[in-house]
Amino acid sequence: MSSIRRTVRICYLGMLAVALVSNLAPPLFIPLRTAFGLSFEQLGRFILLNCVTQAGCILICGPLVDRLSVRPFVLLANALVFSGVCLFACADRLFPAHPYTGLLLGTVIYGMGGGILDLLLSPIVSAVPSDRKASDMNLLHAFYAIGQILTVALTSLALWLGMGWRIVVLGWSLLPLLAGLGFVTASIPELARGDHRQRLRDIIGNRMFFIAMAAIFLSGASEMAVAQWVSAYAEKGLGLPKLLGDLCGLCLFAAMLGVGRLLIGFHAGHVRLDRVLPRACLLTIAAYGVACLSPWAWLSLVACAVSGLGISPLWPSVLAITAQHFPRGGVSMFAILSACGALGCAGAPWAVGLIADAVTAYSRLPGLLAQAHLTVAPESVALRVGMLAAIVCPVLMLFVIRRMLRRPSAA
C-alpha cells in the first residue's frame, strides 16, 4: 500500500470518529435521563450544543489551517474527541455536584474535535494525487454512514446486554485514539496555502461558488430531513413499534446512504456524475412522495430507506465538483461549504417539526378527518405533511445540480 493511499484510509477512520461525535448522545438519552433526572429539553441541548460547536470550529479553524500546517490541527482534533468522550463518560465523577455541567463540557470538547475533523478530512482527500477524487470523496463520506450505523447499533446492543453507559462511552474513546495515532505517521499532502492558494474573495465572487453553496445546503437538508425524523415518523406517523422504527428506519436509511457512496466509490471509472446526480435527485423526490403518501406503513418505511440511496452521492459529489472548479481553494473554501451544509442539516429538520406542529394545532383537522371517514390520528397526518413539505429540498437540488454541472471549470 502506498503511503498516500494509506493516508486516505486513515481519513476513512477519521470519518468514523466524526460519525461517533454526531451520533453518540441520542442512544444514551434514556440512560442519561434515568441516571440524572434530565428533561427532554436538557437532552436536546446535547445535539444543539454539538452542532453549534462544530459549525463554530469549522469557521474559525478554516483560515488558520490555510496559514499553518494541517498535521497539528488533525492531531488536535482527534485528541479533543478522545478527551471529550472520556470527560463525558466520567462527568458525574469529575463533577459530582453538577454532573450535567460535565456532560455539556464533554459535548463541547468532542464537538470541537469533530468539527475540525469534518473540516479537514475532505480537503486532505481532495489534495491526494489521484484520478479518482470523486470516488475517494464518496468512499470517505460512506464511512460516515458506516460509523452512524456502528455507533447506534453497537451502543444500543451494549446497553441491551446490560453494559453500563459509562463503559460503553469509554470503549468508544478508543476510536479517535486509533485515528490520532494513524495521523502521527501518515503522509499528509500539502494543501494550497499562501501564494499558491486562490484568494477567498475571488472564490466568493464567482457565481459557481454560490451555486455550490446552495447545492451543499440542499444536500444537507435533503439528508437530515429524513435522518432526524425517520424514527419518530415510523412510530408516530406510521404506527410502527419504536424498535422497528429505529432499526429498520434510521439504521436502514444509513445503510442505504453508505451503500450508494460505496457503489460510486468502487466504480470510479464508470461513474458519470452528470447522469448519476440528476437521477439521484429524481429517486429522492420519488422516495419522499411514496414515504409520505403511501397508505401502507411497510412501503413508506422502505421508501424512507430508499431515499438514503438517492441522497447518498449528493454531498460528497458537490464537494468533489467544487474542488475541481477551484483546485487552489484551500481549507477556507471547504469551511464555508461545510458551514452551509450544517445550516441545511439544522434547518430542514427544524422546518419539518415546525410544519408538523402547525398542522397539529389546526383546530379543524379532526373534523376534516372525520368527514373524510379517515381513522388516521392527527399526529400521523401532521408528520406526513411535515415530511412531505421537505420534498422541496430535493426538487430544488435537481435544478441546482443541473446548473452546477453546466458551469465550466474555474481557471
Where along the chain do its domains lie?
1-187, 199-411
Q: Which three cell numbers mark 40?
A: 427532554
Computed over every residue of the chain, the mean pLDDT equals 81
Segment 69-112, tens digit of pLDDT: 788 999 999 999 999 999 999 998 999 888 999 999 999 999 99
Those residues whose C-beta lies under 8 Å from the C-beta of residue 264, and which sit 6 or more positions away, are 134, 135, 138, 271, 276, 312, 313, 317
Locate 17 and state its grid cell: 470518529
pLDDT-derived band at 353, boundaries 50, 70, 90 = confident
pLDDT tens digits along 27-66: 787 788 788 887 766 776 777 788 778 888 888 887 787 7
Q: What is the pLDDT of residues 316-331, one digit of tens each?
A: 888 888 888 887 766 7
Quick one: 199-411 is in which CATH superfamily?
A: MFS general substrate transporter like domains (1.20.1250.20)
Q: Which residue pairs, CB below 8 angstroms and at least 24 apart, start in 46-53? A: 46/103, 46/104, 46/107, 49/104, 49/107, 49/108, 49/111, 50/21, 50/22, 50/25, 50/107, 50/110, 50/111, 50/114, 51/111, 51/342, 51/345, 51/346, 52/111, 53/107, 53/108, 53/111, 53/112, 53/115
Lookup: cell for 334 = 471547504
- Beta strand segments in 71-226, E: none
Q: What integer pLDDT is reported at residue 374 of this predicted model?
A: 44
CA–CA dist 28, 44 (Å, integer)? 12
1-187, what's its fold?
A: Growth Hormone; Chain: A; (1.20.1250)
Please indicate whether residue 377 or residue 253 has the higher confidence score (pLDDT): 253
The C-alpha angle 40, 46, 50, rounded to 5 degrees, equals 155
3 state DSSP class of 390: coil
Nearby residues of 166 by Cβ (< 8 Å), 6 or more positions away:
89, 90
- The pLDDT tens digits of the residues spanning 222-246 come to 988 887 777 767 776 677 775 676 6
| Distance (Å) of CA 202 to CA 24, 60, 339 | 39, 20, 19
Long-range CB pairs of 197-206, under 8 A, 24+ apart, other chains included? 197/66, 197/328, 197/329, 197/330, 198/326, 198/328, 198/329, 198/330, 200/330, 200/332, 200/333, 200/336, 203/326, 203/329, 203/333, 204/336, 206/326, 206/410
Residue written as grid cell 419539518 = 352
pTM above 0.75, yes or no: no
Gap between the Cα atoms of 232 and 281, Å rounded:
24
Under DSSP, is residue 372 helix (H, G, I), strand (E, B) or coil?
coil
* Band of pLDDT at residue 297, cut at 50, 70 and 90: confident
Regarding predicted confidence, which is higher, 290 or 192? Answer: 290
| Length of the chain (residues) | 411
**Taking residues 287-302, what's their average pLDDT?**
87
**Is the model's pLDDT at 359 over the cut of 80?**
no
